[in-house]
Amino acid sequence: MSLSAKLLASGTGWRVSDMVCTSGPRDPCYVEQHSAYSIALVTDGNFQYRTAQGSALMTPGSLLLGNEGACFECGHEHGRGDRCLAFHFSPEVLESVVAATPGTRQLALTAARLPPVPSVLAVLAGAQALRDQSGGAEEFRELALRVAGAVCTALNETPAEARRSPTPRDERRVAAALRRIEAQQEVRLSVDDLAAEAAVSPFHFLRIFEQVVGVTPGQYMLRTRLRRAAVRLRRSRDTIAAIALDCGFEDLSTFHRQFRHTIGLTPGAYRAQRAPLG
């Protein structure tokens, strides 16, 4: 597997790495083992991930989850390459997070993947911005704890229905739609267009997309635009209006409303925060 890992920061019981994979459909899959509890934010590309908790198509904005000692396999059946921001935790560190998270009792990541749910969107946008800005060790440490807490909370709230494994045929159809969405991020693609390209009915496409990705096509496209906007708010001096238009929002008022509803802050307030944690 053509995988490179750049250590961004580390400390007692935790580390954060920038992982870049260049494997493609013709490259073999290898069984590997998680050396620590792992939470990896997918920022680019898509790939198949299989572990004891199930299998999932990993897409930009989703989180790969792995338990310490668990075997796993990754494959790129539908495209070449991906990039992830990976957080690794010792049992002691994750146990301290679990103990402080209301409603969470077990030291285990109970799913293979967490879809791009709103409750973790802000902290993940902050994570991506911090990676691209080469943040300091203390910033990464705070971020790692925030990511772990957000994931534990979201797993406790995510229904089992959202974790079902899709069929390989459905994965291929949705992967093709995801590639089109990524290539045309500023375009408002309709479900009818995506369903026609997948050669299925709009209703069937909606069902399989949500089963594969964890959210509906509309939710995925909106959250992708909001995540891109949140990252740009943290790492650029562009005006909020310019960012909104560049990220596919037709007007500033809609962008403000959607951003505040999902992130919990106005774009200006989010940009003004010093800590890049959302």
Q: Look at residue 98 in the predicted model and tell me its pLDDT.
A: 86
Q: Is the pLDDT of residue 52 over 70?
A: yes
Q: Indicate the average pLDDT of the chain.
A: 85
φ and ψ at residue 46, rounded to 5 degrees: -145, 155
Lowest mean pLDDT among 154-168, 198-212, 239-253: 154-168
Query: Which domain range does residue 139 map to?
Result: 3-163
Per-residue pLDDT band for 10 (boundaries 50, 70, 90) equals very high
Is residue 277 included in any domain, yes or no?
no
- Would you state the pLDDT for residue 121? 78
pTM of the model: 0.68
Residue 135, Cβ density class (10 Å: 0-12 exposed, 13-18 middle, ≥19 buried)? buried
Average pLDDT of 259-276? 82
| Residue 157's pLDDT band (cuts 50, 70, 90) | confident
196 inside domain = yes
pLDDT above 90 covers a percentage of the chain that reads 31
| pLDDT of 146 strictly over 60 | yes
37 and 127 inside one domain: yes
Query: Do both 89 and 125 map to the same domain?
Result: yes
Question: Is 278 domain-assigned?
Answer: no
Predicted confidence (pLDDT) per residue in 221-255, tens digit: 888 889 889 989 988 889 999 999 988 888 899 89
Specify the DSSP class assigned to residue 161.
Answer: G
The answer to whether residue 162 scores a pLDDT higher than 70 is no
CATH code (residue 143): 2.60.120.10
Average pLDDT over residues 170-179: 89
Contact yes or no for 272/130 (Cβ under 8 A): no
Same-domain check for residues 177 and 157? no
Q: Which positions ≥6 away from 77 have C-beta within 8 Å? A: 25, 48, 168, 171, 172, 175
Helices vs. strands in the chain: H and E counts, helices first: 10, 10
Asked whether residue 107 falls in the same domain as residue 184, the answer is no
Contact 211, 163 (CB under 8 A): no
Determine the Cα–Cα distance for residues 16 and 208; give it in Å rounded to an integer.
33
Whether 130 and 64 share a structural domain: yes
CATH of the domain at 180: 1.10.10.60
Number of domains in the chain: 2
More confident residue, 103 or 11: 11
**Pair 131, 41 in one domain:** yes
How many Å apart are CA 36 and CA 160, to the nearest integer? 24
Instruction: State whether 132 and 213 are in the same domain.
Output: no
Task: Judge if 75 and 27 occupy the same domain.
Answer: yes
- Asked if residue 79 and residue 32 are part of one domain, the reply reads yes
128 and 172 share a domain?
Answer: no
